[in-house]
Structure 1
Amino acid sequence: MTAAAPHPSPTLDGLFRRVLGRQPEALALVDPADKMRITATPPKQLTFAEADRAISALTAHFIGSGLPANSVIAVQLPNTVEFVLTVLAAHRAGLIVALLPQLFRQAELTMALNRTGARGLVTSSKIDGVSHADLIMNAAADAFSIRYVGGFGNDLPEGMAALDDVMACEFEPAIAVLQDARRAAIISFDVTADGFRAVPRTHLNLISGGLAVFLEAGLPQGAIILSALTPSSFASMASSLVTWLLSGGVLSLHHPFDNEVLERDINAQACDVLVVPAPLAERLAASGLLDRTPTLRHVLGLWRAPEQVATSAAWSSPQTTLTDIYLFGEAGLFGARRGADGLPVAIMPGSHGAPRAVANSSIAGEILITPKGTLGLRGPMVPVLAYAASAEPSRSLVASKPVDHVDTGFAARLDRATGAILITAPPSGVMAVGGYRFLAQDLTEWAKRLGQNAMLTALPDRLSGYRLAGRASDNARARDALTELGLNPLMVEAFRDRAAAD
């Protein structure tokens, strides 16, 4: 008797197809209610069948445009249904998706494209009034590997494929591309003490991260999830897109942040799960907004500055549970659901998995203290090789022990009384404003270009980790100079006029 072929490991598109087969006419994706303001295009609501047709149309277009399997397509899109459709279509076409943060401007875009050897680019005509289509076209001109550029929205530049038309027109289904869950699915971008870094992850890495969040939070099947995260990182993918596919429910999207629209969307969609940055979740709970959303039961709070969790206030929304999601750049994450007292749960070293896991169940990962006094991560979601690649080769003739974990750089120690891990400080020399990380030395270098009296610094901020502030003899001139250099808008807006801001 011939042995049965092993069942293939799931991919993101495979998870989508499983839900599609069970409930094709069920609602799948919901756009932000204020999408017209964000991209100048009307909001959409798609069933799984409608989403599948759009994904198939985009898949046929990508393959027909000559993008070869296993090549990289870079994506810079807002938190709208087009992002989800593009990612799943790219995977169905056998492509690897590079996630470009919206805050990346020409200098960073060019670096990311050249680092990954991207063959294609997809963006939106405008996002919040900024012409991202023009930014992408300028970056593509500086990246010799780019052979294809597509965009959603109106008034696209010449040479950019109109993807709204692609989804609306008839198409010939493409020949199926064999998807391998062990191959890279996405590439995200991180900054460590060694500098800018591209971090590839397989489908299995992604699904492992999503499972860690899904199981720790105790999310229900068929959940209606509202995600208010910019889709540009491993954490945003794992906690929203992957948890949606695992639950088989609805993914409702919110463009950060408008509290009135957020409250209206939660109630209109009867959402039971909210995914937001943790400091914002604390503010929403304190303001009483969460108590005005009767269907909401679960809040996933993402901590980009996990050293702040221990000093956070007790969770104050009685009808919802908060799951703290600890983020360590693009290296990995873990979650801990708060108990009845609303206080953060002690994080113990060793393996972690689903709460009250049965014996011999699989683990989500392992947390350790490195000999350097920093926090290390290992497990099925952690891309160890991506972080070990820049390490200098050993000069010793004796082979060293292979690295099996990622050193996150976050200072940590064990509490003598409880044995719990205490995360005490972020990585040295690395600043984070929200999800945007950069080297502290870069601030000084950019300020030097603006003259002797210019200053650019990072100040601690509870909501975003740090905020940028600048000073120059002529702030307007400094803003123009930084914009011309292709710098991130956070750098530019550090030189806003204080009187005008007030």
Structure 2
Amino acid sequence: MTQTAVPPTLDGLFCRLLARQPDALALADPADKPRVTGQAPRRLTFAEADQAISALAAHFVEAGLPPNSVIGIQLPNTVEFVLTVLAAHRAGLVVALLPQLWRQAELTMALNRTGARAVVTAGRIDGVGHADLAMNAAVEAFSIRHVCGFGSDLPEGMASLDDVIANGARAMALASQDGRRAAIVSFDVTPEGFRAVPRTHLHLIAGSLAISLETGVAQGATILSAVAPSSFAGITSSLVLWLLSGGTLALHHPFDDRVMQQQAAEQPADVLVAPAALALRLAECGMLSRLPKLRGVVGLWRAPEQVVSSPCWPEGHAALTDVYLFGETGLFAARRGDDGAPAAILPGPHTSPRDIEGGSITGEVVLTPKGTIALRGPMIPIAAWAPSTTPANSPPPAAPLDCVDTGYAARLDRTSGALCITAPPSGIMAVGGYRFLAQDLEAWAKCLGQGALLTALPDRISGYRLAGRAQDNARAREAMLGLGLNPLMAEAFRDSRAGGA
């Protein structure tokens, strides 16, 4: 009787690389890590990373976290994030990705929504006391049973994971591995409100393959990632892309161009992963031309409607792959041609690489009857977007049942038949990777008293930027932070003489 092959997991991919090249360099920290977290940068081989992963996994098991329970992770773009995610999977846990910009209000909502049993964070990130934020959020999330962190000066009651790694790996019973099981939960904002989006290991691998095949990432490549890994796109374009290529993952905490140049000199990269607007800026200023080993640039567009109007990619640079992101729904990738202009996106199956006949189908783009883009394919978690109930006499869905409507408005070009993405979902604002409901701005402004105004203005780089006005801007900033809101809200009330809107 033949055994059915078990679908791969992220930890399974790592273990294959470990067996093949235990002494090869696996992970490299940002050069300015002392500024970000107060810790010294680490450079780990696959064997050293495995020891740390096993130690963390054993700690999670000994802490009483049962298999398939959720563990929230709010960490910067450092090796600790990668180690913790793989350790959680080795212990059979599901990782909830908590964006670094989130504060107590959003953390509490996410932890309660997922029923998380544990939280992992860092003592301080960029000068912000994230350990205290996590402890306060854990108090309001009744499911939390364990809080732990990296770094010094952790609050009382928070377990030190640096000590766990220093004490070394311990024997433990490995959790069963199956790529069809949930691996992560990411979070999105839709017109219906806050939504948790679970994904399996296979969803993550499929999303990363769409980027890898289109970019042409070679086996053994060194990947320099300058994106926050707290979303589906962030984790597939960095951690999973590294596991598929089997090279070295060099991490850059966004963003310092001097530090990036230092990292590029110390660990020459084959592939750079960065927000698309940043990649275009680096090419324009000539920095990318000083990276002779660079063969590909992956540019993430959180505002995909801006791709068509973006500048042409300069001739002579490493090829740019535009990655169109649709919140936490999904993505597709398209490499630019020799003319440097964005590639035409046609409705129907999306193959990678696009310029090779018979390429792998990584997904499908559908234009719905109401003029929005829907996605289907192996990376799309259909169940996560299905309505819990269907009211009687409700109109038929605008998109096929095996698709997810992204809400992004689009039309077909009459001449070429290509898709033109024209607008983001109605009622949704995006400042970089931070999405929120437009109606929330008014509610937040009301908390500041009469005459206060908070609005979103279009921005070429980040989609929108926030601007605020109050009788006392300094007091408004303190009030926003006191509400446990994102610091972007508070910075909307910065003094215009200091660069505010």
Give yes or no for TM over 0.5: yes
Is 1:254 the counterpart of 2:252 in the alignment?
A: yes
Q: 2:178 aligns with which of 177, 180, 193?
A: 180
- Alpha-carbon distance in 2 for matches of 1:357, 1:364: 14
Structure 1 residue 306, shift from structure 2 partner:
0.3
Structure 1 residue 500, shift from structure 2 partner:
3.5
Residue 296 of structure 1 corresponds to which residue in structure 2? 294
- Matches of residues 209-220 of structure 1 in structure 2 within 5 Å? 209-220=207-218
- Alpha-carbon distance in 2 for matches of 1:230, 1:319: 24
What's the TM-score once normalised by structure 2's chain length? 0.97
Residue 7 of structure 2 corresponds to which residue in structure 1? 9
Is 1:323 the counterpart of 2:321 in the alignment?
A: yes
Is the contact made by 1:267 and 1:295 (CA closer than 8 Å) also made in structure 2? no
Residue 404 of structure 2 corresponds to which residue in structure 1? 406
- Matches of residues 70-89 of structure 1 in structure 2 within 5 Å? 70-89=68-87
Q: Secondary structure at the match of 1:334?
A: strand
Q: Which amino acid aligns with 2:390?
A: P
- Alpha-carbon distance in 2 for matches of 1:399, 1:125: 50
Q: Cα RMSD (Å) of the superposition?
A: 1.5
- Alpha-carbon distance in 1 for matches of 2:326, 2:350: 16
Residue 392 of structure 2 corresponds to which residue in structure 1? 395
Q: Which amino acid aligns with 1:440?
A: A
Cα deviation digits, residues 56-114 of structure 1 (max 9, x gap):
00010000100000000000000000000000000000000000001111110000000
Structure 1 residue 170, shift from structure 2 partner:
3.5
What's the TM-score once normalised by structure 1's chain length? 0.97
- Alpha-carbon distance in 2 for matches of 1:397, 1:106: 37
Structure 1 residue 357, shift from structure 2 partner:
5.2
Q: In 2 relative to 1, CA 230–398 (structure 1 residues): closer, same or farther, beyond 3 Å? A: closer
Q: Which amino acid aligns with 1:428?
A: S
Q: How many positions carry a matched residue from both structures?
A: 498
Is 1:384 the counterpart of 2:387 in the alignment?
A: no
Q: Which amino acid aligns with 1:132?
A: H
- Alpha-carbon distance in 2 for matches of 1:135, 1:334: 35
Is the contact made by 1:110 and 1:143 (CA closer than 8 Å) also made in structure 2? yes
Structure 1 residue 267, shift from structure 2 partner:
2.0
Q: Which amino acid aligns with 2:481?
A: T
Q: Which runs of 5+ in 1 are unaligned?
A: none
- Alpha-carbon distance in 2 for matches of 1:170, 1:487: 38
Is 1:47 the counterpart of 2:45 in the alignment?
A: yes
- Alpha-carbon distance in 1 for matches of 2:4, 2:360: 19
Structure 1 residue 231, shift from structure 2 partner:
1.2
Residue 117 of structure 1 corresponds to which residue in structure 2? 115
Is 1:23 the counterpart of 2:11 in the alignment?
A: no
Residue 269 of structure 1 corresponds to which residue in structure 2? 267
- Matches of residues 218-237 of structure 1 in structure 2 within 5 Å? 218-237=216-235
Is the contact made by 2:123 and 2:154 (CA closer than 8 Å) also made in structure 1? yes
Residue 349 of structure 1 corresponds to which residue in structure 2? 347
Q: In 2 relative to 1, CA 485–398 (structure 1 residues): closer, same or farther, beyond 3 Å? A: closer
Sequence identity percentage? 67
Q: In 2 relative to 1, CA 397–133 (structure 1 residues): closer, same or farther, beyond 3 Å? A: closer
Is the contact made by 2:51 and 2:168 (CA closer than 8 Å) also made in structure 1? no
Structure 1 residue 172, shift from structure 2 partner:
2.2
Structure 1 residue 399, shift from structure 2 partner:
10
Structure 1 residue 362, shift from structure 2 partner:
4.5
Is 1:458 the counterpart of 2:459 in the alignment?
A: no
Q: Secondary structure at the match of 1:447?
A: helix
Residue 207 of structure 1 corresponds to which residue in structure 2? 205
- Alpha-carbon distance in 2 for matches of 1:456, 1:487: 13
Q: Secondary structure at the match of 1:311?
A: coil
Is the contact made by 1:188 and 1:200 (CA closer than 8 Å) also made in structure 2? yes
Q: Which runs of 5+ in 2 are unaligned?
A: none
- Alpha-carbon distance in 2 for matches of 1:171, 1:257: 33
- Alpha-carbon distance in 1 for matches of 2:322, 2:231: 17
Structure 1 residue 417, shift from structure 2 partner:
1.1
Q: Which amino acid aligns with 2:91?
A: A
Q: Which amino acid aligns with 2:237?
A: S
Residue 140 of structure 1 corresponds to which residue in structure 2? 138
Residue 58 of structure 1 corresponds to which residue in structure 2? 56
Q: Secondary structure at the match of 1:363?
A: strand
